[in-house]
C-alpha cells in the first residue's frame, strides 16, 4: 500500500508519497509518481493500481472539478469508483482515496479521505474531511515539514506490512515502500507543485524491496 503523509494547514495542502508498485509477494513491478492533479484537485490513492484510473474516471463522469463539487457529488463519484474496482475484480482490496483542493464555499483548503474498509477505525464507505493523514505507524507530531514526512515514510519502509490480496485478506508482511518520495504542495490560486525529495538508489524493478 502506498505510504502517504498528508496535512492541510487551511491555506495549503502538503502530501508526500512513495513510488513503489509491487506484486502480492512484494516484488517491484514498477515505480510511478502517485500524486496527481485532476481538474483543480490533488489526488493520491493507496491500494490497488486500478484505483488511479478508477477515481479519475469517476470524477470526470460526475463533472467534479473542485473539492466543493466532490463534496456535493461524493455519493455518485464513489459509487462509480467502487463499480470500476468491481469490474476489475479488486473491489475487496482496501483503498484510501485522498483528495484535496480549495473550497470557495469554506474559503480554505479542504482535504478529504474516502475508505472502502474499516482499518482506520471508520466504517467502510466513510467520506470525511480531515487535517492530517498517515498510512503508517509514525504520524506527524505537528505541522507538515519535509523532514517529518520523510521520517514517517522511512518508518513505514522499516515496518513490514501485509500486501492486500484481491479478496481483501492480508498477504505476507513485506517491505512495500520504496523507489522515491514525492512531495506535492497545493496552494490556493497556484498550480500544484511536485518535488522529488528522496530516492532509494538500490531499489530495482523485479526485486523485493529491502527495509
Q: Supply the pLDDT for residue 45.
A: 94
Residue found under cell 517491505: 175
Q: Supply the pLDDT for residue 162.
A: 75
Q: pLDDT band for 47, please (50, 70, 90 cuts).
A: confident
Q: Considering the chain, what percentage of its residues have pLDDT values greater than 90?
A: 73
Cβ(135)–Cβ(96) under 8 Å?
A: yes
DSSP E strands: which ranges in the chain? 4-8, 12-18, 20-22, 28-31, 36-38, 41-46, 96-103, 108-115, 127-129, 132-134, 161-164, 170-174, 180-187, 193-199
Q: pLDDT band for 170, please (50, 70, 90 cuts).
A: low
Q: Supply the pLDDT for residue 196.
A: 98
The yes-or-no verdict on residue 157 having pLDDT over 90 is yes
Residue found under cell 502480492: 24
Average pLDDT over the chain, rounded to an integer: 92
Would you call 177 exposed, middle or buried from its count of C-beta atoms within 10 A (0-12, 13-18, 19+)? Answer: buried
Go through the domains of the chain in sequence order and give each one's CATH number: 4-199 (3.60.20.10)
Q: Considering the chain, what percentage of its residues have pLDDT values greater than 70?
A: 96
pTM: 0.93
> If you average pLDDT over residues 153-168, what whole number do you get?
77
The yes-or-no verdict on residue 165 having pLDDT over 60 is no
Q: What are phi and psi of 151, to 5 degrees?
A: -60, -40
Q: Supply the pLDDT for residue 142.
A: 86
Q: Which of 33-47, 74-88, 105-119, 167-181 has the lowest mean pLDDT?
A: 167-181
- Collapsing DSSP to helix, strand or coil, 105 comes out as coil
Q: Supply the pLDDT for residue 211.
A: 73
Q: Which of 15-19, 89-93, 113-117 has the lowest mean pLDDT?
A: 89-93
Which of these, 145, 128, 45, 132, lies nearest to 90 by C-alpha position? 45
The yes-or-no verdict on residue 46 having pLDDT over 60 is yes
Amino acid at each position: 500500500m502506498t505510504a502517504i503523509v498528508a496535512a492541510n494547514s487551511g491555506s495549503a495542502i502538503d502530501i508526500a508519497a512513495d513510488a513503489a508498485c509491487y506484486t502480492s509477494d512484494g516484488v517491484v513491478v514498477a515505480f510511478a509518481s502517485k500524486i496527481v492533479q485532476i481538474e483543480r484537485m490533488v489526488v493520491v490513492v493507496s491500494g490497488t493500481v486500478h484505483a488511479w484510473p478508477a477515481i479519475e474516471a469517476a470524477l470526470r463522469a460526475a463533472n467534479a472539478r473542485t473539492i466543493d463539487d466532490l463534496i456535493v457529488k461524493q455519493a455518485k463519484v464513489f459509487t462509480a469508483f467502487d463499480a470500476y474496482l468491481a469490474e476489475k475484480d479488486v473491489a475487496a482490496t482496501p483503498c484510501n482515496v485522498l483528495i484535496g483542493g480549495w473550497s470557495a464555499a469554506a474559503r480554505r483548503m479542504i482535504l478529504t479521505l474516502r475508505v472502502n474498509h474499516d482499518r482506520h477505525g471508520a466504517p467502510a464507505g466513510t467520506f470525511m474531511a480531515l487535517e492530517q493523514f498517515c498510512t503508517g505507524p509514525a504520524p506527524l507530531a505537528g505541522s507538515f515539514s519535509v523532514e517529518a514526512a520523510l521520517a514517517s515514510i522511512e518508518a513505514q519502509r522499516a515496518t513490514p506490512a501485509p500486501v492486500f490480496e484481491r479478496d481483501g485478506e492480508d498477504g505476507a508482511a513485506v517491505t512495500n515502500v520504496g523507489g522515491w518520495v514525492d512531495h506535492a504542495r497545493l496552494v490556493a490560486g497556484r498550480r500544484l507543485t511536485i518535488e522529488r525529495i528522496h530516492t532509494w538508489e538500490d531499489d530495482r524493478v523485479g526485486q523485493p524491496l529491502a527495509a
